[in-house]
Each structure stands twice: as C-alpha cells, then as structure tokens.
Amino acid sequence: MERLFTAPCLLLATLASTAQNTTQPNIIMFLVDDMGWQDTSVPFYNNERSNLNQRFRTPNMERLAQLGVRFTEAYACAISSPTRCSLMSGMNASRHRVTNWTLELNQQTDAKSSVISLPQWNYNGIQPDSTAGKINNSTPITSLPQVLKDNGYYTIHCGKAHFGARTTPGADPATMGFDVNIAGGPNGAPGSYLGTKNFGQGSKFAVYGLEKYYGQDIFLTEALTREALNAMKKSVEMNKPFYLYMSHYAVHSPYDEDKRFTPNYRGQFDKQLNDTLNENEVRYAALVEGMDKSLGDILDYLEQNPEVGKNTILLFMSDNGGQGLNNVRQGRANRDQNYPARAGKGSAFMGGVREPMMVYWPGVTQGNTQSDQRVMIEDFFPTILEMAGVKQYRTLQTIDGTSFAEVLKHPAKRYERPIVWHFPNLWGETQNKEEGYGAYSSILKGDYHLIYTWESRQCRLYNVKEDIGEQNDLADSMPEKVKELTDELTRYLKERDAQRPAYRSSGELIPYPNE
C-alpha cells in the first residue's frame, strides 16, 4: 500500500483509545447503488483527480480515505441483484445463478431475443437455508448476517435488499439473519426519494417501513441514515457488537431532486462534458452528495462516541458500475459517464464492473493508503467473518470468495486468482453487444480481460493495465492468450455447473468459450 492521496484542507477527529465493552468489532458494510468508480471527489485511478472526480463533492469519502485504505481494483457484478446475492452468500454469480435482477415471483426480467433462449436462472433470488428444496428457481444459503447473528452480533439491515423475489421469504431481510429490517424489500429502486410522496407508496417500487416520515419534507437517504443511527445506538445500549448493512437506494434512479445539494451543481460547467450540467446530471450529483452526507453522519457518530468508534470497522463499496446510457445520464453513451473506463451498468467492460472501495479498520489499516489488490464482491463474505473473529462456521453453500483481511493487516501480501463474471442474460435497457451488453461471460487475469459474447461467440481481449478504456482488441494478435483465458474461463464455469444460453432455432446449448 502506498500513501499517495492528499485531501484538500481536511479536519480529522482522532478517535480516543477507549474501547467498547465487547471483544468483537462492530462492522458497517456501506453499499451504494449504481455508483460509478469515478462518481466521487476521491480518485480511484492513477491517484490523480479526473474531470469526473472534480464534478462531485464527497468530503466524507475524502475523510474516509484519509482514515483508511482505498482499493483501486475492486469489482462487482454489472447488475444489482447478482452482486447482493454474492455479498450475502460468498458465491460467484455463476454458482448462485441469480444472474439478473429480481422482482416478482416466478418472473424473469430479461429482454426478449429471436436468436437465443436464456437458461432457467434463479429469478426468485436467494432464500434462507431452511427453504432448501421448497422454492423453485432460487438458491438457499446460509447468509452472512445469519452467521454473524449466530456468533453474537446484532444484525441491522437498512435500505435496499433486492435479493429475493416478492412474496418469497428472501424478500424480507428479517428471514435472512437480520434482527432489524429498515425499509428493505424486493424492490431494486425507490418509487420516490421524497417523504412528501411517501417514498412511492402504492407503486411496485414503494419503500415501506418508514411510515413515520410520510408527508415530511425529508429525503430517503436522510431518513435511512437516522434510522440506522438509532439502531446502532440500541445495539451499543445492549452491549452487543453490531453488523450494520447500510445499503442505500441512492444513487439509483429516479433522480428526484435533493434540494439540499442541487444548488451546488446548477449552472456548473463540466470539464468532462465540455458543457454545463443538465438537470438530470445536477440531480444525480446531488444524490451522490446526499449519500456522502450519510457517510459523514455515521463517521460523526463514531467520532463523537470514541468507545464505539475505536471498535468499528467500516467497508465502503458500490454494487455495480455507474449508468453508462445517455437516456438517464448526460454525455456520450458508454464514454463520458465512467471515463476513462468504457460503458457502464450492465456491461462486461470495466465501466460496468469497477467500483469505488475503501476500508477503515481501526488499529489495522494505515490512513491515506491505497492497495492494488484485486477484490471481487464475493470476497467480502469471508473477509467480514474473519474481521469478526468467526472461525468456525458452516454454510449450506460453497464459498467462492477469498478473504482480503490479511492484505489489510499486512499490506505487502497479495492473493492471486482470476476474477470471473457470468451473465447469461439479457439486460432490459440495451442489447448493444458492441458495448459489452447482452449475454456474456468474462475473465480478468493479470493484465488481460477477455470477454465472450454468447450470441455471437466472439472473444475480445484487452490489456486493461495499458488500455483501461478497452479500445484496442488484441484477440487477433494474441491467439495464445485468448486460448489460455478461454480455457480457464470454461474450466471455471464447468466447475460451478454454470448455465448457458441456447440457440432458439435448434435448442442446442451455445458452446463454451474454448469450444
């Protein structure tokens, strides 16, 4: 890890040395929805502020960066539900098979195709292990919060769940090992961020559990933060360690106006766009700043209560790449929104899967450092359990993730393994295969990222160390590297019995990448 990032004029409170009366650390998993890796004033590329970094105001992310370590190569799935299921289970998406976003019971959310038919993926989501064999098209798991709860933790879910279909047990975080469920359900977005609109009451994306705020002039992000702080305080009063899954609906659409922050962006000229921010982008930036305020409120609580703060680990992550389409975001589709990475949410390219990630572990991490250790979303499961000191546990599922706790303790350490994405689905918002959308599988190993498009059977190869924007396809000039990576990708998928699309005309399964 290197000390590289210098925040501008930042005042940091020093946490006192007194400890909370528990030997187990409190753990906060702070997950943001749809936040791109550049949607912050903290740099996650080349340690220099990009034009996008200069657009956003995230002083509390800067504050966290000063306290802990930034990971410059953190990855998730390109779509929300697969990421959340991997976080909860420790499984790669190719194994848990919740490979697209979930919502209604027994309903797939894929776009239609006249060329390929999709496998029967697990569109009912993950479910508690007690449901094994009882719910079709689902994956029963022993969840991360359940293991923590069984080992003495007070487990709090706050915000977006989106890992089980409506009416199934998994739609309710209370069935998945959480002692407290604040506003979590099957919906992947809020019907509204506005308390004056009752957070979308009556719509299929309504946020429930915050009825006491109905009719108030309060933003959803703020209401969730207040409730999370109350739950943390209750756990401290009980003298129990807490696991807070602070899972914001922000910064997912709809881009409702957060009037606290939109004045900071209206009329602002933007270097990346070479234009003045439009209303959508103004509101988006305000959503980001509102999320950052939530992070700041939590940091404030920890600093004002040093006996708690000294014993609290905070992990920050996003669930997929930022939106890359210009129907919701300003600029050139698949170019400006996550620059210098290509494309965005739903795409196999780096813009769809590369995330902002930070970790603060008092007494362990060194402040203002960075790590280039590659982390995949399923790695959080074994890492958090190791942080919690939970050594003996059993899970119904096979764990694919690798703990990065030793990397935090010993910055020179590294673990190496390929990162694999499996999306045998058709995301509903675009099927632009040229930009990495559609049904695909991909692998990142060393400097090289190989993308296999199932419908066309095309393999594309990029050196992401030299070409983060993935503009120069090396597949034709490096056939041996293509063979190496397609062999490894195929082996990985076969080991996990990953499902494949089929040709609609013949019903035959599409060959694996190396066939």
Q: Is 15 a residue whose pLDDT tops 90?
A: no
- The pLDDT score that the predictor gives to residue 428 is 95
pLDDT of residue 508: 98
Burial class (CB in 10 A: 0-12, 13-18, 19+), 471: exposed
Ordered by where they begin, the domains of the chain are 26-419 (3.40.720.10), 427-503 (3.30.1120.10)
Q: Quick one: how far is CA 395 from the chain centroid? A: 22
The DSSP string of 232-277 is: HHHHHHTT--EEEEEE--TTSSP----TTTGGGTTT-EETTTTEE-
Task: Please report the pLDDT score of residue 127 as a whole number.
Answer: 98
Residue 221's φ and ψ, nearest 5 degrees, are -60, -40
Query: Exposure of 393 by Cβ count < 10 A (0-12 exposed, 13-18 middle, 19+ buried)?
Result: middle
pLDDT the model gives residue 476? 98
Taking a C-beta distance cutoff of 8 angstroms, is the pair 409, 364 a contact?
Answer: yes
Q: Is the pLDDT of residue 83 over 90?
A: yes
Percent of the chain scoring above 70 in pLDDT = 96
Q: How far apart are CA 205 and CA 310, in angstroms?
A: 38
Find the range with the poorest average confidence among 3-17, 93-107, 427-441, 466-480.
3-17
Residue 20 has pLDDT above 80, yes or no: no
The lowest-confidence range among 10-19, 324-333, 411-420, 451-460 is 10-19
pLDDT at 17 over 80: no
Residue-wise pLDDT for 190-237, tens only, equals: 999 999 999 999 999 999 999 999 999 999 999 999 999 999 999 999
Model pTM?
Answer: 0.96
What pLDDT, on a 0 to 100 scale, did the predictor assign at position 444? Answer: 99
Please report where in the chains the tokens 């922050």 appear, as a residue. 261
Identify the pLDDT of residue 19.
40
pLDDT for res 22: 77
The pLDDT score that the predictor gives to residue 1 is 46
The residue-averaged pLDDT of 352-370 equals 98
Q: What mean pLDDT do residues 390-402 have?
A: 97
8 falls in which pLDDT band (50, 70, 90)?
very low
What is the pLDDT, as a whole number, of residue 194?
A: 98
What's the chain's average pLDDT? 95
Cα 480-484-489 angle, rounded to 5 deg: 145
Q: Which residues of 415-437 are buried (b: 16+ CB within 10 A; e: fewer)?
A: eeebbbbbbbbbbeebbbbebbb
pLDDT attached to residue 283: 98
Query: What per-residue confidence (pLDDT) applies to 13?
Result: 38
Cis peptide before 288 (omega within 30 of 0): no
Q: What pLDDT, on a 0 to 100 scale, did the predictor assign at position 16?
A: 35
Counting Cα atoms < 13 Å in the Cβ hemisphere of 306 gives 6
Residue 11 has what pLDDT? 36
